[in-house]
């Protein structure tokens, strides 16, 4: 029997824009009330809140900087206002460029803090405070190989992928933890669509995906009653090819 999203409350991190916003909207369309976490994009978060409320569910805003311990106490604060959190979608992340050549410990730690440690603390707090619920973590299909232009980022996602598997076992059966690993979906913030269009050829399906496909995978995992520790690569098959496994072609 499928798990009912309708009537539940979800916290989506980094939800004001892009993939996070589509996940928040899709959850609202399924009948969930949504806590929209944002860092800087307050105006987008407000617009999204209005759009979600037009779907006859509740929406709230919460600002927090995960680069600065803003994840501490976030579950308590959101659950206190919303009357509980049933669904956590760990979507927020940073994506700075770095290579092994110029990687620094400080840069690595900054990526780990936002991309792995913050979502881990939120998961752990969900288990401790809410006692039960469902978690979907946004990973990256390049963890099957590596991304030599975003070394610190991809290492943080490797860590988060391992944390996802560990949490899926450690917190079961109360917390059900799964992941979605996007491939080419959107260019980095501020870059034109051509940024990923020129990489379409590297994808077995010869195209990039859309935030709708990511949100659909999140909804699928949440509705399932028998998936745990599963990671769905939504990447047109890119995780299967050797392109990313290096040595890099430059
Ligand atoms: N885009 C892709 O094609 C792609 C590919 C592979 C994996 N992914 C993964 O899918 C997820 C969504 O991707 P995306 O491209 O939509 O993400 P994104 O736009 O790069 O980032 C999502 C949000 O993270 C928030 N964020 C950044 N730094 C933060 C901090 N210090 N504290 C709190 N929040 C912070 C930002 O919120 P504000 O805007 O409010 O500041 C931002 O809107 C990410 O986990 C990403 O790694 C995406």
Is residue 182 lining ligand 1, measured as CB closer than 6 Å? yes
Encode pLDDT of 177-231 as tens digits. 999 999 999 999 999 999 999 999 989 999 999 999 999 999 999 999 999 999 9
Residue 207 lies in a domain: yes
Q: Note the pLDDT of residue 18.
A: 98
| Model confidence, pTM | 0.97
Q: Note the pLDDT of residue 243.
A: 53
DSSP helix/strand/coil, 204: coil
**Residue 157 alpha carbon, nearest atom of ligand 1:** 47
Give the residue whose CA is nearest to atom 48 of ligand 1. 182
Residue 2 lies in a domain: no
**Residue 180 alpha carbon, nearest atom of ligand 1:** 10
pLDDT tens across the length of the chain (250 residues): 689 999 999 999 999 999 999 999 999 999 999 999 999 999 999 999 999 999 999 999 999 999 999 999 999 999 999 999 999 999 999 999 999 999 999 999 999 999 999 999 999 999 999 999 999 999 999 998 878 889 999 999 999 999 999 999 999 999 999 999 999 999 999 999 999 999 999 899 999 999 999 999 999 999 999 999 999 999 999 998 855 555 555 5
Is residue 119 lining ligand 1, measured as CB closer than 6 Å? no
Cα–ligand 1 centroid distance for 92 (angstroms)? 4
Residue 149 lies in a domain: yes
**Cα separation of 152 and 131, whole Å?**
33
Listing DSSP states for 151-180 in one string gives HHHHHHHHHHHHHHHHHHHHTTTTEEEEEE
Ranges of beta strands (E only) in the chain are 9-12, 33-38, 59-63, 87-90, 133-138, 175-182, 231-234
- What domain count does the chain have? 1
Is residue 93 lining ligand 1, measured as CB closer than 6 Å? yes
Cα–ligand 1 centroid distance for 1 (angstroms)? 32
C-alpha to C-alpha distances, 202 to 19, 231, 234, 239, 241, nearest whole angstrom:
21, 21, 14, 10, 9
**Residue 91 alpha carbon, nearest atom of ligand 1:** 45
Q: Note the pLDDT of residue 241.
A: 84
To the query of whether residue 153 is one of the catalytic residues in this protein, the response is yes
Residue 216 lies in a domain: yes
- In the set 35, 38, 153, 171, the catalytic residue is 153
| CATH classification of the domain holding 191 | 3.40.50.720
Residue 183 lies in a domain: yes
DSSP helix/strand/coil, 188: coil
Residue 1 lies in a domain: no
What is the span of the domain harbouring residue 235? Answer: 9-245
Residue 27 lies in a domain: yes
To the query of whether residue 43 is one of the catalytic residues in this protein, the response is no
């Amino acid at each position: 029997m499928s798990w009912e999203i309708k009537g539940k409350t979800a916290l989506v991190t980094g939800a004001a824009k892009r993939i996070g916003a589509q996940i928040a909207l899709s959850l609202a369309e399924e009948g969930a009330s949504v806590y929209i976490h944002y860092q800087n994009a307050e105006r987008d978060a407000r617009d999204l809140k209005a759009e979600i409320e037009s779907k006859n569910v509740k929406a709230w805003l919460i600002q927090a900087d995960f680069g600065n311990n803003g994840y501490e106490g976030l579950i308590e604060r959101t659950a206190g206002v919303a009357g509980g959190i049933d669904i956590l979608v760990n979507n927020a992340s940073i994506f700075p460029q770095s290579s092994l050549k110029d990687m620094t410990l400080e840069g690595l730690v900054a990526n780990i803090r936002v991309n792995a440690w913050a979502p881990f603390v939120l998961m752990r707090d969900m288990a401790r405070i809410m006692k039960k619920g469902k978690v979907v973590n946004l990973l990256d299909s390049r963890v099957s190989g590596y991304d030599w232009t975003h070394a610190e980022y991809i290492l943080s996602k490797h860590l988060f992928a391992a944390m996802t598997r560990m949490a899926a076992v450690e917190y079961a059966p109360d917390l059900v933890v799964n992941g979605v690993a996007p491939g080419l979906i959107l260019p980095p913030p501020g870059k034109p669509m051509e940024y990923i269009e020129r990489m379409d050829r590297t994808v077995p399906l010869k195209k990039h995906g859309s935030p709708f496909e990511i949100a659909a995978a999140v909804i699928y995992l949440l509705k399932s009653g028998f998936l745990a520790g599963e990671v769905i690569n939504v990447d047109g098959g890119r995780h299967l090819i050797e392109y990313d496994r290096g040595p890099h072609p430059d």
